[in-house]
Structure formats: structure tokens, C-alpha cells
Structure 1
Amino acid sequence: MASDGCSKEDPLEDSRTDSGIDSILKSEEPREPSGDFSGPRDKFSTADERLDSAYTSSSITVESLSEIVEDCSLSSAKHEQAELSGLSEQESLLTTITEDGDTILHLAIIHEDIFISQELIDLFPKEVLDIQNNLYQSPLHLATYLNLTDVVKGLMEKGASLELQDQDGNTPLHVACQHGQTDCVTEMTRDLPLSFLVPVLQTQNWRGLACIHLAALNKQHHIMNLLMKKGADLNIQEGTAGKTALHLAVELHDITSVKMLLSMGANVDAPMFNGCTPLHLAVGRQDAQIADLLCQFGADKMLRNMEDETALDLADGNDHILALFPFDDIQISGRSVVTF
């Protein structure tokens, strides 16, 4: 039996809980991307490089947000946003960051105050909307974590970046796919031209996972369908083992995702880095139903992995699996050579 994972129950399940809102208020240091991943370009930078020059450190806390909002005149500040120098004491509260790197917009979103969040989105220029806190979370990341669809919509309409990656390498779209925030996915992909959206769909987080991988791992079928319609590459390989979304769906015994991916044109014979195809994985996991479905879509039964095994070699005596490989189906180079 192969030692390359063809027959092991080892989907790339997201075993870590996302940092999310629970740890936003902690003062932990951000983690560097793992050296195990040759992922996308490093978007990490120091706080000084990320923050607008008008933003300065503050002792502001989340608990004081309500007080601050009461003291601030958002409507008058709107008319004076062009002049950041000579700010009044009230206005300067809008241009501060916490020790955790949060702007007042971050805090308003954390408090799930949609009205104040929308006011701040209208007030601030795009550069401020894209400020990342110490966990490299932008306001769009946080709004997505909390499934604040209206705030996500407002940020997208104002031009907030969809490409920024948090400390785990996740873009806001990754977050939405992982947590099943379907409405957020809809808002983030609604009006974006393919030239802007496709690079985001191809971005891998530090675990090597693209959005379609996260949707498949979490069995988010509606989101998978949305991503497919928006031009997601169904055959993109995750960065650790070279699995496609189809491999992941097979490993999870998720026949709904398998059917969806195959019907949308996913490569039924896509090889992993070790040469295993989805059929190798289905047979190795003794999943006769999915193996049969793959065969119906033309899976090549004679392909060999790096251990020189065909899918049949992994059947392990399973009669239901063996029935998929009749003796009159012996082929070389796609041509039948034996007929009984």
C-alpha cells in the first residue's frame, strides 16, 4: 500500500480555529508565515509603513468607543476630512489607533455598530479603510468575520482592497469561504471585473489554500458554485500536496461537491504531487459510490502514482470497488488489448 496518503483519511481540514474576533483584542505578536509554504508575495510590513502619517498611537480602548462616538461630530468632520492638519480634539479621536493597531473603524466593526461603521466608511479615504491592525486584519476582514454584510457592501463600494492578507495569509474572501459567509462572498464578488477578482481567487494563504479549497474543505456548496461562476480555477493545486478541490471533496466523501466540480469541468484525472488522482483517493478510501462517479466521468483507471500503483492496486479486496474494474477493460495507451 502506498505511503503517499492515497488511502489515508487526511484531508487538509482547517484544524486551527481562526484568530477571528476572540483574539482581536489580545496584544499577541503576529505570526510570520510558515516557512513550509512557498505562498504568494509577503504583504507583511511594519506598523509605521502601513499607517497614514496622520495616525498616531493612542490609549483608546474598545470599552471607550461609545464615549468617543458620542463626543465626535461625524457630520461636521465629513466636511473637513481634506485637512488632517490642525484637527480639533474631537476630530483627532477619529485619527488614532489603539495599541493593537485598530482604528476607530476597526472598533466600530468589532462592536457591530453598523451605523457608525457606515458613517466612518463615508468619512475616511480608501487608504484609511485598508489599514491593517497588529493581526494584519483590515476592516473588511473583521466585517467578514462578523458577517456584517452591509458593512462589507459599504467597504467594497468605497474601494476597500480585497487583496490584503491577514497573519494567516487569508484575504477577506478566504475568510468568507472558510466560515460560510455566503452573503459576504456575494458582495465581495458582485461587481468586480475578472481582471481584479481572478488574482484574488488564485491567492493562497500560508497553508497553500486558495478560496476554492477552503470552500471545498468546509463543504460550502453554494459558495463553491459562486466561485465557479466567477471564474475560479477548479484545478488549482494547494501548496502542500498538490490536491485540487476535487481531491479534497473525494477525501471528505462529499459526493455533492464531487458532482458539482465534475459537472463544471474539473479535471477528473488531476494528479497530486505524488501522482495520485481522485480515483486513487476514492478507491483507497473504499468509497465505491464516488469511485463509480469518477469512472462515469471518464477517470483513467490505468494511471499510476509515484509508488507505481493504479487505483485497482488500492482496492484491498473490496468487491464493490473491484466491480468497477472488469477484466474486459484491460487497456494499454487507451486501447483495449484483451476481450473476454
Structure 2
Amino acid sequence: GNLDVESLRPTTPPRDHRLRCGHAMVLSGRPSPSKLSSAGSSPVRGNTAGWTEALRRASSLGEAQSVQASRAGSGSLGGTLPPTVSKGFIRRVQDVPDLSLEVALGNMPKIKSCVERFGIDVNTCGHDGLIPMHVAAGRGNMQVCKYLVERRGDIFAKSNDGMTPLHMAARGGHIDILKMFKDCEGFYIADLDIRTYDGWSCLHFACRDGRRSVFDFLVHETSRTEAIMDVDLDARTFDGRTPLLIAAEAGNTEMVENLIRTGADTSAVCWSERHGFEGLGAVHLAAMMGHKEIVSNLALSGEDLDKKTTGGWTPLMLATHAGFTGVVKILVNAGCDVTAKTKDEEHTALDLAKRHKNTEIVDIILKELELGG
């Protein structure tokens, strides 16, 4: 029959004005979102929508399977309620905890109450596509992660941007949780290379955030224990960035050293929408971000310091343009070409230094030109 939701709404809102519709799952279709909508109810209307929120929670708990409302009864919380909705049920509905919140807080008693008492699905998504497993892995809470795995929590679930709990654990440096996931039934070593929708792997996050233990696990431990496949050291994001390029841009010197030592491709290049350049290599990114130690290490490792971007920019030009005097000194002392020109405007590093009125860099380059002349 027709569902009259308005008859379930009290004229005075319930005492608990914090009813949250996100606690309930309408996926069961009891009552369906379309019926609620056609009845004039707003599923996101504020807490004045008292019994609408209660019905949504009732759906998730399976206690409002046959709610048939008529306009015969409406009133305040203490007034007459529809026959299938008891006052005791409404009180219980208001006490339903937020599973994701309790997971974030690490509150095991309430987490178990959500799942075992109220029957909340451990794989329920939030508006951003995150499920409780994402939250627990990101927080590094092993006890909660184990419990969610036992309750068939999905360790491969993807958020709206493609993040999985594995990515969350890698990003946070929670090596114990990554190892626990690896031991889960149905897990294959190739799953450690799972990508976000932007192409980021666990290794990308570890290299960006300097998570050495995660790096060692992904690169060394897995290759010793699983001969089927090694983690891809040169995996590319959608803008072409490898773990080495990400580590160089982020200034993680140790990660850059480890990647080069492990055999990462130092000739890889990418494009950067943020910086507006194409063909950026590790030395370009380190130079334009002012990471002196990384530039020095790349120079010592034999990296081409005169490598040009698509537009003809060298690391020296990028460092000069950004005003990083220390990087300029390193590059000049390492013997880079101070006379190189950009492709279109044919500017040299000296031209850029003069444009930005950086007298210190002007002096460094002029001195080098005099010595070279």
C-alpha cells in the first residue's frame, strides 16, 4: 500500500535532536528510498524529521518490515505512535552508535555492539566510500582490524578515489597491519600492487611519506617470501610519476637512496599539472623543490644534470626560477651547463636570475661563466 511517512513524524521533535540517518541502511528496501521520497520525506532533512530518521534506522535493523502508517495517529514523543513502532524501539534506535566513529575511536565494546547487537554491516560505506576497515587501517588499530577481518570486512574495498585499506595502512606506516592483511585468506602478493584510481600503489605512498618499514616489507620481504612476483619499483601513476619521482619531489632522501640502490629507473620522467612542466625527472623535481641533499646524491650517482624537460628547462633553470641558491651552487659545482637555453623563449639560467632580481644566483652564474670563458 501507500506509505504515509508524514503520519510517523511527531509534531514535536524527539528529545534526542541528533538522530543521524547515516546509521541506517535502506539498501534492504524496507521501506525503499523511492517510497520515502514519493511520500514527501527528505532523507537528508535535519533532525526535525524525527520518525523519518527512525524509519531509516528501523530498516537497517529489520524491525520496520511492515510499517503501514495512516494519518490516524500523530503526536509528540509521548503521544500515540503507529502500531508497528513501539516507544521502546524508538529509544533503542536513538542509542544506535556510529560504527565508523567508534572504529576511529578504537572503542571495541561499542564496535561489537554495532555489529553484533544492532547488526550493522562492517562493510557499510560512508559518503566518501570509506568503510570501517579503511578507518581502522589508517589509524593503525590492529585489534579492530582483526575483528573486522573476522567479521568478513573487505580489505580490498575501494573508496571514491580508489583507496583500499592496504593503501591506508601503507600511508600510515602500519607495517603490522599490512602483514596481517597479507596473511588473510585469498590474498595474493600481486594485491600489494593494487592501485587507486589515480594509479597510486602502496609503494608510492610509502615513498612519499617516508615509511621505511613499509618500503622494506614491500620491496625486500615480499620478494624473499614470494617468488611469484616482485613489487613494481617503477609503477607509474596516471601522470607518470614513479616511486622515485615521488620521493624526490617530497624530499625523502632515504627513500631516493633506497630506490636507486634497489634498481629503480632513474631516467623516468613525468608531467606535473601543479608545476606546469612536462618531462620532469628526479633531479628536476628535487631541484625545483629545493632538496639539496637529493640533488647532490643524484649528481654523485651520475645523473644527467643537463637533462631537459619538454620545454627545454634544465634542473639549474628550475632551481634558479624557484630561487634555491643552495641547489644552484650544487649544480654549478657539479659541472652543469650554465649556458643552456629554454626551447621557446631561449632563456638561460642567468636570464631567469636577472628577471627575478636574485643577485646571489646572478653572481654564482657569472663567476662560472668567467671561469669557463
Give the TM-score category using the shorter length: 0.5 to 0.7
Distance (whole Å) between structure 2 residues aligned to residue 176 and residue 150 of structure 1: 14
Q: 1:123 to 1:247 in 2, by over 3 A?
A: same
Tell me the equivalent position of 2:311. Answer: 274
Aligned AA (1:180): G
Which residue, out of 92, 99, 106, partners 1:61?
99
Tell me the equivalent position of 2:260. Answer: 228
Higher helix share: 2
Q: 1:68 to 1:319 in 2, by over 3 A?
A: closer
Question: What SS does structure 1 have at the residue aligned with 2:299?
Answer: helix
Tell me the equivalent position of 1:191. Answer: 221
Question: What SS does structure 1 have at the residue aligned with 2:368?
Answer: coil
Q: 1:123 to 1:255 in 2, by over 3 A?
A: same
User: Structure 1 stretches of 5 or more lacking a match?
Assistant: 1-24, 26-57, 73-88, 331-340
Instruction: Give the CA deviation at 1:271.
Output: 0.6
Tell me the equivalent position of 1:162. Answer: 192
1:1-340 to 2 correspondences below 5 Å? 61-63=99-101, 66=108, 70=112, 97-100=123-126, 101=129, 105-106=133-134, 108-110=136-138, 112-118=140-146, 128-156=154-182, 158-159=187-188, 161-193=191-223, 196-198=230-232, 201-205=234-238, 207-240=239-272, 241=277, 242-285=279-322, 287-306=324-343, 307-316=345-354, 318-326=362-370, 329-330=372-373
Distance (whole Å) between structure 2 residues aligned to residue 64 and residue 292 of structure 1: 53
Instruction: Give the CA deviation at 1:277.
Output: 0.9
Distance (whole Å) between structure 2 residues aligned to residue 236 and residue 170 of structure 1: 16
Aligned AA (1:236): A
Distance (whole Å) between structure 1 residues aligned to residue 165 and residue 339 of structure 2: 50
1:158-185 Cα offsets, whole Å, 9 max, x none, are 5352332334442222222233323222
Instruction: Give the CA deviation at 1:122.
Output: 8.5
Distance (whole Å) between structure 1 residues aligned to residue 169 and residue 324 of structure 2: 39
Instruction: Give the CA deviation at 1:272.
Output: 0.8
User: Structure 2 stretches of 5 or more lacking a match?
Assistant: 1-21, 23-59, 62-97
Aligned AA (1:308): E
Q: 1:118 to 1:298 in 2, by over 3 A?
A: farther
Q: 1:172 to 1:245 in 2, by over 3 A?
A: same
Aligned residues: 254
Distance (whole Å) between structure 1 residues aligned to residue 265 and residue 171 of structure 2: 25
Instruction: Give the CA deviation at 1:124.
Output: 6.9
Q: Answer 1 or 2: higher relative contact order, Cα 8 Å, separation at least 6.
A: 1
Check whether the contact 1:108–1:117 (CA below 8 A) recurs between aligned residues: yes
Q: Let me know the Cα RMSD of the aligned residues.
A: 3.8
Distance (whole Å) between structure 1 residues aligned to residue 329 and residue 132 of structure 2: 55
Question: What SS does structure 2 have at the residue aligned with 1:239?
Answer: strand
Distance (whole Å) between structure 2 residues aligned to residue 164 and residue 296 of structure 1: 42
Instruction: Give the CA deviation at 1:270.
Output: 1.2
Instruction: Give the CA deviation at 1:256.
Output: 0.8
Greater radius of gyration (CA): 2
Distance (whole Å) between structure 1 residues aligned to residue 337 and residue 240 of structure 2: 27
Aligned AA (2:213): D
Q: 1:215 to 1:172 in 2, by over 3 A?
A: same
Check whether the contact 1:152–1:188 (CA below 8 A) recurs between aligned residues: no
Instruction: Give the CA deviation at 1:146.
Output: 3.0
Question: What SS does structure 2 have at the residue aligned with 1:130?
Answer: coil
Distance (whole Å) between structure 2 residues aligned to residue 286 and residue 111 of structure 1: 38
Tell me the equivalent position of 1:54. Answer: none
